[in-house]
Amino acid sequence: MNRNKLIELFIANLSNAVLHKILEKAIDIQEISLRYSKEIINSWEIAKRYREKINPIGRALPSHDIEGIRNSIIKKVKVEINQRIDRGYENLDFSLVDDFVDDALKHFSVI
């Protein structure tokens, strides 16, 4: 798999993971978010798999990559949030997106 494809998949999974966090915050009954199935690997773990294949591993990516990845994730998450708001979903907090994305990118040594 080439580097661009790996980055594309990394973005898709991290967007999903960030969206998951935003939706969790908006849910009415937090206490029932039981993780039933340990077998279901989540987007966060898959994003990690891809990051481990994107060079440079373990340190920040070149600035042009960072900008592209960050903007793509934010855009994807906001599209998903908007899709939900249009259908009447309440309590979704747009302001969380940038911070969540930056935290995730730091976690994966992208920035």
Partner 1 sequence: MVNRAGIIAKISKGTKMDQIYLPKIRSGLNTGEYVLIQQISADEMTGEKEKTAKSSKPIFYNLKYLEPIKMQIIEKVFEIIGRESPENIIITGSFLEKGFNFNDIDVLVISNDTNLSNLKKEIEKATGIPAHLIVMDNKTLIAGLSSDPLYEMMLSKSVSKKKVIFNIKRQMNYKLLDLNLLKSKTMIDNFEILNGYEKYYFTLNLISILLFINNKKISKKSVNNEIEKLFKISVKAIKDNMAGKGFFDKYKEIYTKTQNLIFNNIK
Give residues in contact with partner 1 (CB under 8 A).
9, 12-13, 16, 19-20, 23-24, 26-29, 31-34, 36-43, 46, 49, 83-84, 87-90
> 9 vs 111, which CB is nearer to partner 1?
9
> 46 vs 74, which CB is nearer to partner 1?
46
**Burial class (CB within 10 angstroms; exposed 0-12, middle 13-18, buried 19+) of 50:** buried
Shortest Å, Cβ 63 to partner 1:
26
Shortest Å, Cβ 61 to partner 1:
20
Shortest Å, Cβ 4 to partner 1:
15
**Burial class (CB within 10 angstroms; exposed 0-12, middle 13-18, buried 19+) of 19:** buried
> 32 vs 95, which CB is nearer to partner 1?
32
CA atoms of 4 and 46, how far apart (whole Å): 16
DSSP code for 20: H
CA atoms of 62 and 73, how far apart (whole Å): 17
